[in-house]
Amino acid sequence: MDVDPVDPVDSTDPVDWDGLRAAARGALDKAYAPYSQYPVGAAALADDGRLLTGANIENAAYGVALCAECSLVSALVMSGGGRFTAFACVNALGEAIMPCGRCRQILWEHGGPELLVDTPKGVVPMTEILPQAFGPGDLDHVREATR
């Protein structure tokens, strides 16, 4: 499927994508990846303008490792909450990478369909990353219908 990416250098785009990518690359220094040797840095803008960063934090019990997106969401919640509006994630080479499936769901929860995501193919809305996503609205719909 071809995507129609948003041009990250479009002068009408209020997001400083180069700055967001640089913040994600800066977060790589905080990654703890002794097992995979695959550090990941993430950065996002919150709806109030805050710039937040995160990095992956591995664990000898592999299943309890935290992806960079998890630490990013923790930073969002711990610094006052809100919603993500723009997101970038990079590998050790500074290249844009796609969030894993679990993290796509986490990003949906904290950014929703309008969240813009920097991908290897360009900037796309979250609806292209996780089409027909399950979210809080699905829970509300069932709760209301069963009352």
Is 67 flagged in the annotation as binding? Answer: yes
Is 42 flagged in the annotation as binding? Answer: no
Is 133 flagged in the annotation as binding? Answer: no
Is 55 flagged in the annotation as binding? Answer: no
CB 116 within 8 A of CB 2: no
Is 60 flagged in the annotation as binding? Answer: yes
Is 61 flagged in the annotation as binding? Answer: yes
Q: Per the structure block, which two tokens stand in for 41?
A: 């840095």
84/96 Cα distance (integer angstroms): 18
Is 89 flagged in the annotation as binding? Answer: no
Active site residue 128: no
Distances (CA, A) of 28 to 55, 93, 107, 122: 6, 10, 19, 21
Which strands, in side-by-side order, build the sheet including 51-55? Answer: 51-55, 41-46, 84-90, 116-119, 122-125
Is 103 flagged in the annotation as binding? Answer: yes
Given the residues 69, 109, 114, 144, the one annotated as active site: 69
Distances (CA, A) of 46 to 32, 57, 98: 24, 22, 19
Known binding residues are: 56-62, 67, 100, 103
Known binding residues for substrate are: 56-62
Residues taking part in catalysis: 69
Known binding residues for Zn(2+) are: 67, 100, 103
